[in-house]
Homo-oligomer: A and B are copies of this chain.
Amino acid sequence: MNKDRPAENETGATGTDFMHGLAIDAVIFGFHDHQLKVLLMRYNKTGVVALPGGFIQKKENLNEAANRIVSERTGLEDIYLEQFYVFGDHARSDPEPMKDILTANNIKHDENHWLLQRFISIGYYALVDFTKVVPKPDTIFDNCAWYDLTSVPQLMQDHNVIIQKALISLRNDLDSKLIAFNLMQEEFTLGDLQILYETILDKKLLRPAFQRKMLSLGILERVAKKWTGAAHKAPYLYRFSKNI
């Protein structure tokens, strides 16, 4: 990103500062109140709901662009991000919802407006600490908020499919990449962690086996007993060990 000169606004007619035909869509997962959540954008005038997304500046690295896009929507830095799939069917390019949004925003456009062309979209999923996120709208959508994964509305284009594919990738990555901790606050009990795994995998796990497995990985550091008022029953708090 050129820090001396801010990039052209994304709604400009020619999109001079961006690579054309290529977008990033971000499935930002959070976990709160025993629910997996996803951060979505809504344009209130038309009611269109979509994944947070954006474009790659001409001199910007792809992964940096994804980080910038998620950072701008969440207020976070150092975000856990994973590329999971590229969505490139020709049929996914439907310019109509974007036309409606441009019109409702009083943004002049003809058929050649760069946002109305075919886009191939690179899907990233992000795992964030829900409690630290301050959702922030972008230049196109005037609302940004968490939705329960179980009650996501009909989204723009193929964005519902993108979320499903991200969830499958997250499930597949859970054991091999040990990444679930990115969804937790800094300190947590093994009970909290089990609920998170059960929610992502959508199945019950056996408590002794789960705890044995997690502790055997050597990635958890015991911090202190959690204060519950009943000291003899208090579970231990753990945190993810930064030494691995």
Chain A contact residues, CB within 8 Å of chain B: 19-22, 56, 58-63, 65, 83, 85-91, 118, 120, 122, 172, 176
Contact = CB atoms under 8 A, between A and B. Distances in A.
B62 A120 contact: yes
Given A21-B19, A22-B22, A120 B56 contact: yes
A22 to B, nearest CB: 6
Nearest to A176: B172
Chain A binding surface SS class:
mixed
Given A83-B85, A172-B176, A176-B172, A90 B19 contact: no
A22 B120 contact: yes
Nearest to A63: B88
A60 B91 CA distance: 9
Contact of A61 (B20, B59, B89): B89
B19 A118 contact: yes
Closest 4 interchain pairs by CB?
A62-B88, A61-B89, A19-B21, A61-B90
Given A19-B118, A22-B22, A86-B86, 11 more contacts: A19-B21, A20-B21, A21-B22, A56-B120, A61-B90, A62-B86, A62-B88, A62-B89, A62-B120, A65-B88, A83-B85
Contacts of A90: 59-61
